[in-house]
Amino acid sequence: MKQIFLFLSFVALLSCKKEAEIEPTDDNELITTVDLIFTDGANVSKSFKFRDIDGDSRTAPEAFDTLKLAKNTDYTVEIMIGDESKGALEDITEDIIEESDVHLFVYRPNPISLLAIQITDTDKNALPVGLKAKAKTQYFPGSGKLKVLLKHQPPLNGKVVKTGDEETGSTDLDISFPVVIK
């Protein structure tokens, strides 16, 4: 009887399926500071800042600039990202560059005619990153918003998630800068 019990226990143990291992994903970045730098054809740069040191969207940010841009003008755009939640500013931009194959910035002007933005930098897989871009303002004065999203798209269970599509992954950053075109 004891042998039958041991045999059945052994068979039961072998028949148990091993659960698929899920690889942990990268953590999202804590972003408290965003600096958008617009440079025109005459090499004049304007910097616009979002700063929310506590990182709590329920409290007002310390700074949230309005993008004031010239009508019918071409700009190069750079974005700098930081975390000031622990005191000194930690530059997260370098981390995003190193992990560019799992990050994607998305720029959404509203109204869409306000500003055209084209991402100019790519990752090792030739997919857009968005730390650098070109922008062109509309031909006439106007106002609206520029939504800036940072999507975090690390591999999931060994499968690549980043495809250039903004719908996948989690969101590290979601802010809307007011825009005035003069």
In CATH, the architecture of 27-181 is: Sandwich (2.60)
What's the pLDDT score for residue 47? Answer: 97
Q: Indicate whether 98 pLDDT > 90.
A: yes
pLDDT digits (tens, 9 = 90+) for 113-171: 999 999 999 999 999 999 999 999 999 999 999 999 999 988 888 888 888 888 888 89
- Pairing type for strands 90-91 and 103-110 reads unpaired
CA distance 125 to 164: 10
Domain boundaries, the chain: 27-181
Exposed, middle or buried by CB within 10 Å (0-12, 13-18, 19+), for 3? exposed
What's the pLDDT score for residue 115? Answer: 95
pLDDT band at 15 (very low <50, low <70, confident <90, very high): very low
Q: How far is CA 11 from CA 15, 18, 19, 48, in A?
A: 6, 14, 18, 67
pLDDT band at 26 (very low <50, low <70, confident <90, very high): low
pLDDT digits (tens, 9 = 90+) for 34-90: 999 999 999 999 999 999 987 777 888 889 999 999 999 999 999 999 998 888 888
What's the pLDDT score for residue 9? Answer: 47
Strand locations in the chain (E):
33-40, 45-51, 63-64, 67-69, 74-83, 90-91, 103-110, 115-119, 132-137, 142-152, 170-181
pLDDT band at 178 (very low <50, low <70, confident <90, very high): very high
What's the pLDDT score for residue 166? Answer: 86
Question: What residues does 36 pair with on adjacent strands?
Answer: 48, 79
Instruction: Give pTM, 2 decimals.
Output: 0.81
Helical (H) or strand (E) element with 7: helix 2-15
